[in-house]
Structure 1
């Protein structure tokens, strides 16, 4: 079975269109054609055949009744009265040609069910030679019946036999074409949105900034465009932050390296060495090296990120308790921990602990005490870190997230940058505002 599928797969792929638009239109067109084909077959194959047989049978029965009456009453007056009554009651144009003989038998033209059904009905009802003329008159079908003493001519209105309106076929084909055109317009709009998304992704992969893609089309396509725009924004922000960090590395490391270079240059090359001065110089160099190690570790931590850790489901309460315990060990003071409702979130635990630690250590360095709280708000959870420190001016609440902007308190200036980077990698965000305790509030929003 698997081999048969593989053998059939290649010819089918050669026949099928390669584009999404072509395949979508094919998916729309095939059901339309199948539906119309079934409808036509049911209508023409069953209903019209039944109606045609019944209408032909009705004409044949009236003609047979007329023939029986003419055979029973042989006088000229009786036959004239019979034909007059037949013309008036049955709408059949009856004529009598005495002594005539039919030179042709059958039908003048093959029209399908109508011709066959009428010929069969006359044969079953009369059992006499007949000739049917379908093309001599557009509005009348002429029937000639051979009787022993002449030919009976019957003119039947075509509308009593014509049961195959061509307008039904035209309506079926026209409706199919109309629906196909409407579906083509809709599918073209949907495919155009997908093509635009693919084009934007290709240009973005080539390093060309084409700006955000305008969401359009179906809901799923719009969501894909919005997700692509967010991904593009995150990547641009990621690259900008890494570029800023690399640009700042040389600047920050230049100062301790210069001090080391000066210290080495000023050390006595020969002669007696002052032991106390040497110890002071060595201590300064060790301090510079320690500072460089600390800065390099911060840079590496920022560059590595937290992508290697696997997200798991954890409770927000235990996370805050772990962060508070670490904060107390570092000499900080926790005022309160408020988690009214136990909530489970899917995060990278170590990364979130690092976010909380960075934020709380900033508060400790500025001499503040910390209060922790967490509460769900719709489809997100709000984690707030409040302190009673001096706070920061409102005009600097956004700029401190840039690398090296918040390093005046003794840090490297990357703590808040790393924290925002981690939170946004989780699909959330982090912001600063005035605290109810009088200091600064760090609000962390994480999706549930």
Structure 2
């Protein structure tokens, strides 16, 4: 549970995770080195130097007043009497003087006579001692009791750590760039666009890129083969149908009408095959206003006498779509809706991240366990839809599904809460 909670706060992008992998060890090493340095340098070294100074101070304080200058002079310790009021002064030090804490503690523990420790000046140490001869001020060089500029090691460590991190990040960015290029090429291919891509980078990334290129070429060949096959078959069937129409035109009306209806149905089926074969290969993506496209399809349906209306429009903006293919997909959904229901409603919802085109009808709908099959080519669900209101070849939803996938989206089927029939949503990421 704790790991899952921690994972929620970790970076999701590859750059963020790579930076975390790079920076976390550096920060841990800095903390460990800092703790060891403070303990060994600030404490142990300062203790040793303070003990040496304490021995010299005891020698000076224990000397007779007559020989005090002769002892304090060579030790470079300045001793002079002060007023008793000075004994009440507080201890002082600079806020960043961490070694001053160790110095003050060590001096007071070794010499209880010390009343005031003044470390405000980094160059000297000033002590006020309550001795047998009265209050004395003792001043000596700070370098005798603590190392000069002890913070330099920490500063150098931080500086070079930042420098190495920047260099490593630049190198890491060059290593991650081929992965980002591969991700963009895969995303574009998933949305039906062909982006130029050449494998590069490390051996593993190059191998993944080569595998992607091979897979993309194989899928494109399969799509091209399917398109050519269906287009060829459908095109070849037009010629005998044309001859049949000419032959039927010479028959009597009673015999001609049923046969012409059969020929018309066959022509409609061939047109559906051609639409399915064309799929998403007819045009390149371009900036399209989904609201205007939906209104245009609804107006065309209304002119054809179909009960189709716009229910709601949420948001606005442009989207990268193949206008011919997307119009075909939405038109198929509207045609299915009015074929199996009395009326249909179209809704458009546009957000910063997605586009949703919804078509609802009041027909019998499709059972939940058959909705996946309904999106497969050449599948007709007789029990689910009212076949008396129109015939089909089972390609309407399959074409819409293919077009949605070609745009990097999905076709979702459900039940309309308002109308009670089928709800078909084309959802595409923007």
- TM superposition score normalised by structure 2: 0.48
